[in-house]
Amino acid sequence: MRNRLILLPGWGLGISPLEPLAAALQGLDEHLRVEIEPLPELESSDLEEWLDELDSTIPQDAWLGGWSLGGMLASELAARRGDRCCGLLTLASNPCFVAWAGWSNAMHENDFNAFLNGFRLDPGATLKRFSLLCSQGSADPRSLARLLLAAAPKTPVAALLSGLQLLGGLNTRQALLDFQGPQLHLFAGLDGLVPAEAAGELVTLLPDVEIGLIEQASHAFLLEDPHGVAGAIQAFLHESGDD
């Protein structure tokens, strides 16, 4: 079903941040079916359990995409499905959210652990801080953060904690290397969560795929300019033979 795109959201903020992008994509191509699939609410941070859940609910032979954690999960699912995935696109999605010796352009481990411990102590305050980090670098960060937080669903704390632990341990580099279909990865130049330099590191890892950097944009660039992002995605789908 090459006219079907499934988008996965990031951690903690639900599907709302993706809705303007989905609407913009539909407006550009009436034949494209865009669906947003909520992340599983699991009390486990085991990647295979998350992928099993997604694999059982997401249609086969569709394009897979996602924002941040959603992009990382889409990458893993694309690699699992192989030829049964039409192509992959990620938005502000680092192959490794937390830095380590093999991937330096990511959040420092101490910063992530402090964030994780902060969430355990005060989930509400930490989610608010997260929304501010997502909007850092935008033209109006406080307004964007309020918009993100206001639309966030009431997800069980245990499920949010599992998702955060999953995010901290994920490394999608091998999945990206294994998936042979078309790929598009878009990064933001002023991202407060995923360093812009990760785009260059990914070019080194994957020299034959499309990687773009939106310079004056935050982690939540899909909300800042949904029509611009939709245009880039539509061009990618068109070039990849979606028509």
Known catalytic residues are 68, 191, 219
* Half-sphere exposure for 11 (CA within 13 Å, toward CB): 32
From first CA to last CA, the distance across the chain in angstroms is 11
Three-state SS at 160: helix
Which tokens go with 159?
């499920």
**Helix 47-57 / helix 69-81 crossing angle, nearest 10 deg:** 70
Collapsing DSSP states into helix, strand and coil, what is residue 155? coil
Residue 74 CB neighbours (<10 A): 30
Vertex 133, ends 160 and 234: CA angle to 5°? 85
- Beta partners for residue 107, in sequence order: 98
The length of the chain in residues reads: 243
Closest by Cα among 135, 103, 125, 112 to 218: 135
Kindly list the distances between the CA atom of residue 144 and the CA atoms of 130, 139, 140, 153, in Å, as whole numbers in the listed order.
Answer: 12, 9, 6, 16
β partners of residue 90: 66, 185
